Amino acid sequence: MTSDTANPIEIDLFTALEDKGLRKTSARSAVLTRIESANDAFTAEQLCRDLPEVGRATVYRTIRHLVDAGALCKLPILDGAPMYSIARVEHHHHTICSKCGAVGEFRHSTVERVMRSLGKEIDGEIVGHRMEIFIICNQCLSGANDGG
């Protein structure tokens, strides 16, 4: 929430693009800066609205690059647009508040263990998994969102 420490994630996003041999432009910098400043997950359209000076196509392209580089997670959770969140943890899962839409991350070793034990029951070779936990977040539980 506070911004009194240098954030290593910023470097990660820029590095992710550099590693792909992409140029550092002002449009991309604007997108990356906005992504960092979002502590919540966001949609592509949200970024477009927040960054009217950056073209829609560029916003979508930059997001695609970052997902491609593994720096962003794409969460196809809603009926409409998918959400994106910075991939802070190597392998993780997401919590999604059913009321306010806030997205969180967590790791749990048992989930990975379950995956391995499932191997026997499943008709093929497991190459990945995804899990989303739907919650009512503490903020919403405490009534912070009752006006909605």
Partner DNA sequence: CGTTTTATTGATACTTGATATCAATTAGGA
Partner DNA sequence: TCCTAATTGATATCAAGTATCAATAAAACG
Chain residues binding a second copy by CB under 8 A are: 76-79, 95, 97-98, 104, 106, 108, 110-111, 114-115, 117-118, 121-138, 140-141
Determine the Cα–Cα distance for residues 16 and 13; give it in Å rounded to an integer.
5
From the list a second copy, DNA, none, pick the one residue 8 interacts with, judged by a Cβ distance below 5 to 8 Å according to partner type: none
Window contacting DNA (CB under 7 A); options: 23-31, 93-101, 122-130, 133-141: 23-31
Determine the Cα–Cα distance for residues 63 and 91; give it in Å rounded to an integer.
19
Classified as helix, coil or strand, 103 is: strand
Sign of CA dihedral 64, 65, 69, 72: negative
Say which residues have a Cβ less than 8 Å from residue 104's Cβ, sequence separation at least 6: 94, 95, 137
Q: Binding to DNA (CB under 7 A): which residues in 87-146?
A: none
Residue 77 interacts with DNA (CB under 7 A): yes or no:
no
Identity of the residue, 45 or 112, whose beta carbon is nearer to DNA in the bound complex: 45
Identity of the residue, 11 or 141, whose beta carbon is nearer to a second copy in the bound complex: 141
